[in-house]
Amino acid sequence: MLELGPIFRALLRQKVGAVLIALQIALTLSIMVNAIFMMQQRSEQMARPSGLDEANLFYLSNTVFGENYNHKAALDDDLRLIRGIPGVLDATQINAIPLSGGGWSMSLQNKAGEGENGIGVAVYMVDEHGINTLGVELIKGENFQSTDIEWRAASAVDWPARTMISQAMAESLFPGKWESALGQTVYINNNEPMQITGIIKTLQAPWNGWDGVERSMLVPYQLEGRNNRYLIRTEPGRRDELMPIIEKALAESDKNRIIRSVTSLEETRNESYRGHNALNKILMLVIVVLTLITAFGIVGLAMFSINRRRRQIGTRRALGATQLQVMRYFMLENLIISSLGVAIGVGAAIGLNIWLVSKFELKPLEPQLLLAGVVALYLVGQLAVLYPARKAAAIAPATATRSV
Amino acid sequence: MLAYYLRLAWISIRQSPGLSFLMVLAIGLGIGAAMTTVTVNYLMSANPIPHKSEQLFYVQLDSWDPHQPANENGDPPDQLTYRDATALLAAKKAYRQVIQAQIGAVVEPDNKDSLPFQVSGRANSADFFAMFDVPFLYGGGWSENADAEMQQVIVLSQGLNERLFGGKDSVGQKVKLAGDYYQVVGVMANWQPRPRFYDVTTGAFNEVEEFFLPFSHISTQKISRNGNTNCWKPSGEGYQAFLESECIWTQMWVELRNDSEKQQYLDFLNAYVSEQKKLGRFERPINNRLSDVMQWMQNQQVVAEDANLMMVLSLMFLLVCLLNTIGLLLAKFLSKAPQIGLRQALGASRQHLFAQYLTEAGCIGIAGGLLGLLLAWLGLQGISLLYGDEMKGLAQLDVAMVALAMLLALVSSLLAGLYPTWRACTVQPSQQLKSQ
Amino acid sequence: MLKMKQLGKVFHTGEVSTHALREVDLHVKEGDFVSVTGPSGSGKTTFLNIAGLLEVASCGEFLLDGDNVNLLSDSQRSKMRNQKIGFIFQGFNLIPELNLFDNVDVPLRYRGFDAKERKRRIEQQLELVGLASRMKHLPSQLSGGQQQRVAIARALATSPRFLLADEPTGNLDSQMAQSVMALLEEINRQGTTIIMVTHDHGLAQRAKRQIFIKDGRVSELTAVDGLHSASLHSVAPLPLHGQTADAPRVAGV
Q: Is C150 inside a domain boundary?
A: no
CA dihedral for B353, B354, B356, B357, sign (positive or negative): positive
Residue A384 is predicted with a pLDDT of 93
Residue C13: count other Cβ atoms within 10 Å of its Cβ: 7
| Strand partners for B225 | B103
Say which of A16, A278, A360 has its CB closest to residue B330. Answer: A16
What whole-number percentage of chain B has pLDDT above 90?
A: 53
**Does A189 sit within 8 Å of B323, measured CB to CB?**
no
Confidence check: pLDDT of B164 > 60? yes
Residue B214: count other Cβ atoms within 10 Å of its Cβ: 27
Residue B434 is predicted with a pLDDT of 64
3-class state of residue C63 by DSSP: strand
Residues of chain B contacting C91 with CB distance shorter than 8 Å: 433-436
**Does B434 sit within 8 Å of C49, measured CB to CB?**
no
Query: At C170, which CATH number?
Result: 3.40.50.300
Report which of C124, C123, C122, C130 is spatially closest to residue C148, judged by C-alpha positions.
Answer: C130
Residue A2 is predicted with a pLDDT of 55
What confidence category does residue B82 fall into, taking pLDDT thresholds of 50, 70 and 90? Answer: very high
Task: Convert the pLDDT of each residue in A378-393 to its tens digit.
Answer: 999 999 999 999 989 8
What confidence category does residue B339 fall into, taking pLDDT thresholds of 50, 70 and 90? Answer: confident
The CA distance from A281 to A43, in Å, is: 11
In angstroms, what is the C-alpha Rg of chain A? 32
The CA distance from C253 to C238, in Å, is: 15
Q: Which DSSP symbol is given to A143? A: P
Q: What is the mean pLDDT of chain A?
A: 89
Residue A117 is predicted with a pLDDT of 82
Residue A154 is predicted with a pLDDT of 72
Residue in chain A closest to B306 (alpha carbons) equals: A279
For the whole model, what pTM was predicted? 0.81
**Does B331 sit within 8 Å of A304, measured CB to CB?**
yes
Chosen from A223, A263, A296, A309 to mutate, greatest number of chain B CBs within 10 A:
A296
Strand boundaries in chain C, DSSP class E: 2-13, 16-28, 33-37, 59-64, 67-68, 85-88, 162-166, 193-197, 209-214, 217-221
Please give the average per-residue pLDDT across C174-203, as a whole number: 89
3-class state of residue A154 by DSSP: coil
What confidence category does residue A343 fall into, taking pLDDT thresholds of 50, 70 and 90? Answer: very high
Residue A373 is predicted with a pLDDT of 93
Residue A400 is predicted with a pLDDT of 65
Confidence check: pLDDT of A129 > 90? yes
Please give the average per-residue pLDDT across B61-80, as a whole number: 89
Say which of B108, B221, B237 has its CB closest to residue A157. Answer: B237
| Residues whose CB falls within 8 Å of the CB of residue B97, separated by 6 or more in sequence, listed in order | B88, B89, B125, B127, B252, B253, B254, B255
Q: What is the mean pLDDT of chain B?
A: 90
3-class state of residue C191 by DSSP: coil
Q: Is C25 inside a domain boundary?
A: yes
- Asked whether the beta carbons of A333 and A13 are under 8 A apart, the reply is no
Residue B309 is predicted with a pLDDT of 86
What confidence category does residue C245 fall into, taking pLDDT thresholds of 50, 70 and 90? Answer: very low
Q: Which DSSP symbol is given to C161? A: S
Residue B231: count other Cβ atoms within 10 Å of its Cβ: 17
Task: Convert the pLDDT of each residue in B341-386 to its tens digit.
Answer: 888 888 888 888 899 999 999 999 999 999 999 999 999 998 888 8
Q: Is C168 inside a domain boundary?
A: yes
Please give the average per-residue pLDDT across C1-29, as a whole number: 86
Residue C14 is predicted with a pLDDT of 73
What confidence category does residue C234 fall into, taking pLDDT thresholds of 50, 70 and 90? Answer: very low
**Does C87 sit within 8 Å of B430, measured CB to CB?**
no
Residue C166 is predicted with a pLDDT of 87
The CA distance from B414 to A60, in Å, is: 58
CA dihedral C144, C150, C151, C152 (to 10 degrees): 110
HSE of C219, CA atoms in CB hemisphere, 13 A: 24
Residues 107-146, chain B: which have Cβ within 8 Å of A?
108, 115-118
Residue C238 is predicted with a pLDDT of 38
Backbone angles phi, psi at A163, to 5 degrees: -155, 155
The CA distance from B69 to C228, in Å, is: 108
Helix (H) or strand (E) holding C152: helix C144-157
Please give the average per-residue pLDDT across C183-211, as a whole number: 90
Smallest CA–CA distance, residue B436 to chain C, in Å, is 7
Residue in chain A closest to B34 (alpha carbons) equals: A286
The CA distance from B387 to A276, in Å, is: 9
Please give the average per-residue pLDDT across A334-359, as a whole number: 91
Backbone angles phi, psi at C35, to 5 degrees: -105, 145
- Strands C59-64 and C217-221 come out as unpaired
What confidence category does residue B277 fall into, taking pLDDT thresholds of 50, 70 and 90? Answer: very high
Residue B97 is predicted with a pLDDT of 96
Smallest CA–CA distance, residue C224 to chain B, in Å, is 33
The CA distance from A30 to B313, in Å, is: 10
The CA distance from A369 to A33, in Å, is: 7
CA dihedral B129, B130, B132, B136 (to 10 degrees): 50
Confidence check: pLDDT of C242 > 70? no
Q: Does B332 touch chain A (CB under 8 A)?
A: yes
Residues 316-345, chain B: which have Cβ within 8 Å of C?
338-339, 342-345
Smallest CA–CA distance, residue A368 to chain B, in Å, is 22
Residues of chain B contacting C83 with CB distance shorter than 8 Å: 347
Alpha helices in A309-366 (DSSP H): 310-318, 323-359
What confidence category does residue A402 fall into, taking pLDDT thresholds of 50, 70 and 90? Answer: low
Task: Convert the pLDDT of each residue in B178-230 to its tens digit.
Answer: 888 999 999 999 999 988 999 988 888 888 999 999 999 999 888 888 888 88
Range of the domain at C30: 2-74+85-93+159-221
Confidence check: pLDDT of B104 > 80? yes
Say which of C52, C90, C95 has its CB closest to residue B339. Answer: C95
Residue C241 is predicted with a pLDDT of 40
Say which of B26, B115, B235 has its CB closest to residue A293. Answer: B26
Q: Does C154 touch chain B (CB under 8 A)?
A: yes
- Strands A150-152 and A216-223 come out as parallel
Overall number of domains in chain C:
1
Backbone angles phi, psi at B87, to 5 degrees: -65, -45
3-class state of residue C29 by DSSP: coil
Please give the average per-residue pLDDT across B321-330, as a whole number: 89
Task: Convert the pLDDT of each residue in C105-152 to its tens digit.
Answer: 989 988 888 999 999 999 999 998 889 999 999 998 998 888 988 998
| Residues whose CB falls within 8 Å of the CB of residue C71, separated by 6 or more in sequence, listed in order | none
| Strand partners for C194 | C33, C163
Residue C226 is predicted with a pLDDT of 43
Smallest CA–CA distance, residue C231 to chain B, in Å, is 32
Check if the interface score ipTM surpasses 0.85: no
Residue C223 is predicted with a pLDDT of 53
Task: Convert the pLDDT of each residue in B12-21 to its tens digit.
Answer: 888 888 889 9
Confidence check: pLDDT of B436 > 80? no
Residues of chain A contacting B25 with CB distance shorter than 8 Å: 293, 296
Residues of chain B contacting A63 with CB distance shorter than 8 Å: 106, 118
